[in-house]
Structure 1
Amino acid sequence: MEINRNEYKILIVDDISSNVLLLKVLLVKEQYNVITASSGREALTLIEQEKPDLLLLDVMMPEMSGYEVAQHMKMNAEMKEIPIIFLTALNSTVDIVNGFQVGGNDFISKPFKKEELTIRIDHQLSLIAAKRIIIRQTEELRKIICGRDKLYSVIAHDLRSPMGAIKMVLNMLILNLPPETIGQNMFEMLEMANRTTEEVFSLLDNLLKWTKSQIGKLNVVYQDFEITEVLEGIIGIVSMVGELKHIRISQDECYELADVHADIDMTKTVMRNLLSNAVKFSHEGGEVLVSIRKENDMAIISVKDSGCGMSEEDQKKLLNESTHFSTFGTNKEEGSGLGLLLCKDFVEKNGGTLWFESQKGVGSTFSFSIPLKK
């Protein structure tokens, strides 16, 4: 990495003035920015005042040795990241090991060659430069992500209410305007508009909750509640969408009453997303089975469909933020792929686990665990 030497400040610490002068002349000639100290205590004072980027530190000094200076620096939060090159006449294996043990970054024995010294200094300065670039880019990325999350949150929040109103109106129109009244073509258009609105509303709801979760503004509020009652309410809502594809949502034989201890809103979101996905990927006239069972201290909720299923390759990508994907449903329903990631996040926040089993052309079963009431 190319570095501009005069942008970095080097502190030379040696109790012998001739050594200090020699090093200073040599380094200044090589375009380094140099300050000096003649003792360990003076060096610590200068470090606080001048904030040097690198130390060239002698070991054998009166009152405070170079090793003691290094130990003091490593215990100080503002000094511990400053790299140290020990420059000393000591050159035994024990001396070198001691130097690294107290926090030294390099060790050069006197007498030294100018080329060796400058190369080792430039190496440490290039590491500093690289670290600063990483820190700066990380901060810029953090700001970009924060800005993006805020934008998503604002968009989702501002659109959710009017989209909810449109959804309610379309639901009322479908219930009160049968095909005999407005004609089959017009009714199918109304159904399509209603389905699209449901998908957009679900996306906005997921997006709002996801961004709140990512920026730490969605806290888990634990409650004790009976999960079958909550699930039956969600089934009633999703069944309205399922009816458009003539899909029946029913309870499996394994359906137990279970009092759980979790965040009820997060649990509803998980169940709604899993049921909506099951409907989305089921074929016309299919069936979605829901089961609840108790296992040790957890309630296990499963949603099984007999839809299109997933290939083994796609299964490996699912539930992974870096490889997660979205596909069209059996009726070309669109999705963002955000719902399952949100489910995974919410389940884990409540102390549970989300998993699935799937077979291409046969169907999928998504399950999650949630703590039982103690």
Structure 2
Amino acid sequence: MNHSTDPPEPANILLIDDLPNNLRLLSSLLTKQGYKVRSVINGAMGLKAARAKPPDLILLDINMPDLNGYQVCEQLKQTEVTQDIPVIFLSALDDVIDKVKAFRVGGSDYITKPFQIEEVIVRVQNQLQLRQAQKMLAEQNIILEQEICDRTKIQASLEEREIELQQQTERLEAALTKIQNTQLQLVQSEKMASLGQLVAGIAHEINNPVSFIYGNVHYVNDYLDNLVDTIKIYQKSYPEPTEEIKAFTEEIDLDFVIDDLKTMIGSMENGVERIHGIVLGLRTFSRLDEAAIKSVDLHEGIESTLLIVQHRLQETRDRPPIQVVKHYGELPKVTCYSGQIHQVFLHLIENAIDAIEDKPLGYWTSADAIPTLEISTKLMNDHEVQICFKDNGVGIEDDIKTQIFNPFFTTKSVGKGSGLGLSICYKIIVEEHQGELSYSRLPDGGSQFMLQIPVHCKETM
């Protein structure tokens, strides 16, 4: 192997952005870090510059005239000389759909404007290290193939060399996998954090007026009882009312009004208690971004998640409402990362709903065809709990079920699934909670996802 003593060439970075101020800022920032920087102001010029002298990394804006960032990235990935260049998107678009689209067209990372300088530097370093690791891996593979061909000539030394190259390859592949998992977790964490903030905001806005009603409706009921008692005392004291009072009470049907008013107050009490429960469920679910490990009630987590997806369980024009069947066992509180476990519940329940909705059009019109989501829990032994999610949707074919936990693999149509959900679920259950997550196809064609986690999970973060 050639061990050169010459210092490595500084990385070459291409900036593509139609805003001169952004180009000046990024160019100055990256030049100070020791990189060679070229800047262009539109997508067409960026493509020409990349093909004429391929850079080590491209920072690409999305909203540009003529060719937008997505189109530029697609053309880069279709050209052999530029297809392996990592692309970091820089954009003010912070919707999850925009980020997923960026990864689908071949982006390696995504930075949301306005960006932090430290974040740009770290992510640029991350992609350049990944690029270098990929180049080294390719070079090692070429060397390995050549040395295998010469096995008969240098058999003894080759065996030792193969071991060394294999170890290097394994280390590089491990580094590549780690970086890919980091990207995967970044997209998902941003999505779930946004959802948690939205739910927390809604719960906060609803809580104040509901708390006022909830705290006063009981007094209103007591005041109503007092007023009714006062009317009855008057009726006893003055058994012969005036003609005016008699006519008015007959006109409004006083007895009916008193009875109906009591019924209405009772309904209002039930309704406000229901809303109060919903607010508590929203506040429970909004703790998605909690990183600390803590003791939680898993049933409470499932219920708060069902509350979040309640609108998707309701009847649509293509199917009746989805029936949720619960078989809850006696579970102790589980020590875990509650925010992560809520993510798993949300993904598996939404996957079940998607599978039900993917049934052929008209399937649910039959009287005995009832869309069903079944959730069961039980304590397996003194130190492990099991949770099953079953549905009677379309299911997953046996020939691809081994791939469903792979990052970015999805059976859903373009734009509907990102392939992130089940991979994140597997990482959370298996890697973060030392548990198990498995899939099986049910006899009726539906799906079952079964997860098992320890009652006392060890802290990994």
* TM-score class, shorter: 0.3 to 0.5
Q: Going by fraction, where is strand more abundant, 1 or 2?
A: 1
TM-score (norm 2): 0.36
Task: Name which structure has the greater RCO, CA cutoff 8 Å, separation 6+.
Answer: 1
TM-score normalized with structure 1 length:
0.44
